[in-house]
Amino acid sequence: MIICPVCHSENDNYATVCSNCKGFLQNRIPNLDLFETVWGIVESPRATFHQVTLAEHKNYSVFLFTLFGISLSFTSFWYLRLGNRFDTLLELIVWALGVGVVTGLGLVLILPVSYHLSARAMGGKSGFRSSLGLLSYSLVPVVASLFFVLPVELLTFGMYLFTANPHPYTIKPVSYVALVSFDVGVSLWSFILAVLATSTGHQMSIIRAIVVVTLTMGALAGVFFFAPRVFRL
């Protein structure tokens, strides 16, 4: 709670003016700067997620979800070993990018809804737009890996990254284990950020936030697991 310095009334953490005397409490944040917010998440995640919640416009949320969809698409192609279905690596990359964009735009319509409903069920206080912003910016580590890790994986293994025969582990085992471990670490980082974002933005305990994020990731894992079977990939 924020205590008004004028009338000493209690106000919500995200109120900009006092509900009693209309006195100033904290600055409005009309828009979010992408690079400043991304760096803030690395440097001071709780303070940055407070700003994301307070911001009137959750800029770049759809953009971040689109990039996340592309990252998820490449992960799916790797997991399902779809390399044998393409003649060249370039063809595979084009398909993965196209599928990723569609996936990201689909997820932005589904995942934030699941997340918001879970948060509200656990006593969350923020609105849907805040849920959208909090969830999208917690995906920053995964999105960053698309630019910094995936190119290294493609240069190291080429098409063999997406094949089972030969498996990329048999080609360069140390590099493969190191890169996969880094991907796992990045995913764990995003999970932790989502928990901090939920606890901060929805004003709930860490335990409740973990439950919310686990339910949301469970929904995502369900889509990831059943979609290939539906489309017989």
User: What does the pLDDT look like over 68-120, one tens digit per residue?
Assistant: 999 999 999 998 899 989 999 999 999 999 999 999 999 998 899 999 999 99
Q: Is 214 exposed, middle or buried (0-12, 13-18, 19+ CB in 10 A)?
A: middle
Is residue 233 over pLDDT 60? no
Binning pLDDT at 50, 70 and 90, where does residue 192 land? Answer: very high
pTM of the model: 0.88
Distance separating alpha carbons of residues 96 and 2, to the nearest angstrom: 47
Token pair for 20: 């009693």
pLDDT band at 228 (very low <50, low <70, confident <90, very high): low
Q: Are 132 and 112 in contact (CB under 8 A)?
A: yes
- The pLDDT of residue 231 is 47
Contact of 202 with 126, CB cutoff 8 Å: yes
Identify any residues that bridge with 231 across adjacent strands, giving them in sequence order: none
Instruction: Give SS3 for 61.
Output: helix
Determine the pLDDT at residue 188: 96
In this structure, are residues 211 and 181 in contact, taking their beta carbons and an 8 Å threshold?
A: no
For residue 19, the model assigns a pLDDT of 74
The proportion of the chain whose per-residue pLDDT surpasses 70, expressed as a percent, equals: 92
19-73 pLDDT per residue, tens: 778 777 677 788 999 999 999 999 999 999 999 998 889 999 999 999 999 999 9
Closest to 201 (Cα-Cα) out of 76, 58, 74: 58
| Cβ neighbours for 90, distance < 8 A, ≥ 6 positions apart | none
What is the structure's pLDDT at 226? 63
Distances (CA, A) of 6 to 13, 19, 80, 149: 16, 12, 61, 51
**pLDDT score for 229:** 54
